[in-house]
Structure 1
Amino acid sequence: MTMRTLQRLLALALLGLAVPATAQRTGEGSVYSRFGLGNRVDYASSQLQAMGGGGVALFNLNYLNLSNPATWSEQVLTRATGTVVFQRLWATDASGNTTRLGSGALQSVHLSLPLRTRRIGLGLAFRPYTRANYLVRTGALLAHPELGDTIRYQIDYAGEGGLQQLNAGLGLYVHPRLSIGVRADLIFGIIEHTRRTRFFYPDLPGVMPTEYVPTLFATATRLAGARATVGVLLRLPAGRRPSDALAFGLTFSTPTTLRGTRVHTLGESLDRDTLGTPQRGNVYLPLSISWGVSYQKDNRWTLVLDGQYEPWSRFRSDLAFAGYNPDGENLFKDRLRLSAGLEYLPAGTDFSAAYFHQVAYRLGLYWERAYVDPRPDTPLHTLALTAGLSFPTLFPGTRLDVNLEVGTRGTTARNLVRDVYYRLGLSVNVGERWFLQRRFN
């Protein structure tokens, strides 16, 4: 490992350390993340994030594709990547009231190594699986019988946390047409929902009546479990040039059981009283199937089409969640995601071309039907456009990516909320040859 490599990895570390200064705080995400285990989060690579988020059948020497471990087989360089995402969201209710929210978070960190160049590749990653982050505020006037006055009470329903996943796996080159891969996924995290009640005098902002005690009731659920993911990549020639290629990809993630522990507390974080004994139970996550096709022409044009299906209608849990009760309500539905993306790299593999000819230009879109309905028979849909630029640097094998996503989620019908958001992603992708054997003449 060279000093230059250490400098690049230090830049990645500083990128991660810079996040807490603008870190996501409670209430700065979608209100729909209160349902189930939170909003599902898909992230494959900074390249694919700008191309609709699919890419099950796409291999690229400059990126580790987390959507399919079979694509890890043909790695040449050791790669380390870090991604930060900043979000701005406008939430509009049925009355036309709009709330503006902003946040930032570390999206993904991953490392890949070619154990045998273009034959066996190792991939490691840390990324979100679900995310819960919302704030719903209600309040009204309450008569004060002793003083003959009125006070205002306010209740804040908030949530934060979510599930993360650690990925580790291998990609294996089997045949010039075929690669396979296997990945172990450790899913874990804490999801906390709180209800804070406070009282105020309407004419004296900030002054709290002493006759009423503010309360904070919290429910924290800790979950952990593991699953396996298997991927296949089939490559076919397409066109007159050897660089033209058509590929098909397929992945299958097994159903899994998460062990859960739920604790109810009363009071602030430093002075909480536990209410009752912890609840324990299992949460059964469904399988996941992803498929895709990619077409690459002349090392300049790349097209991807993808789909993903998760039968969340088979979800079962010993613990209750918003939208699901073991003894009654079940608003969970099958999740479906469709995406398409396009990349244009004017220079192709000509590294002596002008700088802006070596910049990659990307566009994409996706549509998603969420795994839980906010109300019975009211599906939650997301539609988004994506775009991005990938800039080469003075260091061969290292690129800087800037991505943008603009989308809408939900509806104002039936007293629901419509989200309009944009996300800005910044990624540093470091690549270099490691573990070279020195030869002496």
Structure 2
Amino acid sequence: MKKIFVLSFISVGYFLNAQNLSNSPYATYGIGDVKYDNTIETTSMGGISTAFISDFTSNFNFANPANNANFELTSIKLEATNENNYFKTDYNNTKSTKHSTYLSNISIAFPLSPKLKMGLSYQPYSSKSYEIIHTDELKDENGVVYATRANRFKGSGTLNTAQIALGYELTEKFAVGLRANYYFGNLYDLNELAQSNAELINGYETKNNVRNFNFTLGASYQNLNTSTDKKLTIGATTTFGNTSNMTSEYKNSTYFYDATGTTIQSGSESIIEQKTASSKNLLPLQASLGVGYGEENKWFLSLQGDYKKGESITYFGKSFDLQDSYRISAGGWYLPNYNNFRSYFSRVVYRYGAFYEKGSLKIAGQNINKFGVSAGVLLPFKNSSITRMSGLELGLEVGKRGTLKNDLINQNYINFRVGFNFADKWFRKRLYE
């Protein structure tokens, strides 16, 4: 059974790597639209994870690997996301929609000892999947139109992350964790300029090849008052140590397409400029701090702040600065009464959250910010218990990104998530037959 599962894990990983993920036109800049952390548990609670230590023995926290003191079972998670984006701009009163469904997370976690826990995860980190065409008319000094100009922007590709996380419980209250992150994938951008009175098209393409390592260090403190079952949790993480870089290939050329309209005519391309560059600050310093309070096996509420250092990237051969960004999240969960076997919905875990993100993009003098609310449930399987919480996970996130000012794009979105958490004492030797 172990060999079959490992083979399935790898196969699903290849499928995830080949996916085409929907995203925003703002994915044009940098490494694209960041998806991580895309787990149902985290997103359903507004993104809180830094100070979240699950009360149940079946949930492994990858975002802060120090938060796994209660994890005791082998857990296998498979999750999928359905994205629904609705775009609008005041430029020509344009509206558009975009939908996609993709596998968003696969993970396995298990305890190595009562104090040491380990997890393996694979999921999309960011993606580009956009195509924008802007047309206008060219006029002479008398106002007579002499040509139509079209500017086409197109991007594709996915950046994935594979992770291995370890958490160690130092004392009953303190724990530390370390996660190694490997990012890999290819991203492609193309900008084409064409005019109706010219045969040739001017194209500027960028190909990015990413192979990058970094590390996330986490720590947590939790104090449980055994007389009241109330608990206070504090957590912190930092991501650092880029060990590689992104190699970018740029090509500025003129050409025309063949009869199919999709392939460059053989022999028609003339290269104006071609060069290669490297960027070492692909994934800049990140830090997170969270605090939470709750009642054991009953409810939990947390507040979290995330920070990401700005960076300078090369976009179509020109330098483009991304700002420092931050995110404020609040969320938690509620379990009515797991011992009430007369009412199934009393044993359901209800999740809720909200967030505001000051984005790293600033275009035409406008900050491209994002905010949203989320909710979700963990529907336990029939044979689940408070110490063995397996079930179906559902999540919903509704939010907004961008602005209509200065003819920019406003993005409204509704994301649905579904997944399974299978938890049991698998892969362990039996003491008695």
User: Please, what TM-score do these two structures have when normalized by structure 2?
Assistant: 0.83
Cα distance in 2, alignment partners of residues 164 and 186 from structure 1 = 8
1:17-416 → structure 2 map (5 Å cutoff): 24=20, 28-43=22-37, 45-60=39-54, 61-95=57-91, 96-117=93-114, 119-140=115-136, 154-196=150-192, 212=199, 218-238=205-225, 240-242=227-229, 244-256=230-242, 258-264=244-250, 279-284=276-281, 285-312=283-310, 315-316=311-312, 320-321=314-315, 325-326=318-319, 330-348=320-338, 350=339, 352=341, 354-376=343-365, 378-394=366-382, 396=384, 397-416=389-408
SS at match of 1:176: coil
- Name the amino acid aligned to 1:133: S
1:165 deviates by: 1.9
Deviations 1:76-99 (A, max 9, x none): 111111221111111111243211
Cα distance in 1, alignment partners of residues 10 and 377 from structure 2 = 19
Structure 1 86/215 Cα, relative in aligned 2: closer, same or farther at 3 Å? farther
SS at match of 1:356: helix
> Does 1:419 pair with 2:416?
no
- Name the amino acid aligned to 1:293: V
Structure 1 280/367 Cα, relative in aligned 2: closer, same or farther at 3 Å? same
Structure 1 440/407 Cα, relative in aligned 2: closer, same or farther at 3 Å? closer
Q: Conserved in 2, the CA contact under 8 Å of 1:227 and 1:253? A: yes
Cα distance in 1, alignment partners of residues 357 and 82 from structure 2 = 21
Give the total of aligned pairs: 409
Deviations 1:306-330 (A, max 9, x none): 1101121xx245xx127x944xxx4
Deviations 1:6-56 (A, max 9, x none): 6x9979978996998xx646xx42111112222333416321210001221
Cα distance in 2, alignment partners of residues 418 and 116 from structure 1 = 49
- Name the amino acid aligned to 1:380: I
- Name the amino acid aligned to 1:368: E
1:116 deviates by: 0.9
Cα distance in 2, alignment partners of residues 304 and 427 from structure 1 = 23
Q: Conserved in 2, the CA contact under 8 Å of 1:220 and 1:264? A: yes
Cα distance in 2, alignment partners of residues 10 and 188 from structure 1 = 20
1:198 deviates by: 7.0
Q: Conserved in 2, the CA contact under 8 Å of 1:132 and 1:162? A: yes
Structure 1 213/308 Cα, relative in aligned 2: closer, same or farther at 3 Å? same
Structure 1 353/18 Cα, relative in aligned 2: closer, same or farther at 3 Å? farther
Cα distance in 2, alignment partners of residues 191 and 341 from structure 1 = 33
- Name the structure with the higher strand share: 2
- What stretches of structure 2 of length at least 5 have no aligned partner? 140-144
Cα distance in 2, alignment partners of residues 24 and 104 from structure 1 = 9
Q: Give percent identity, aligned residues only.
A: 22
1:270 deviates by: 9.6
User: Please, what TM-score do these two structures have when normalized by structure 1?
Assistant: 0.81
Structure 1 189/352 Cα, relative in aligned 2: closer, same or farther at 3 Å? same
Structure 1 217/421 Cα, relative in aligned 2: closer, same or farther at 3 Å? same
Structure 1 86/306 Cα, relative in aligned 2: closer, same or farther at 3 Å? same
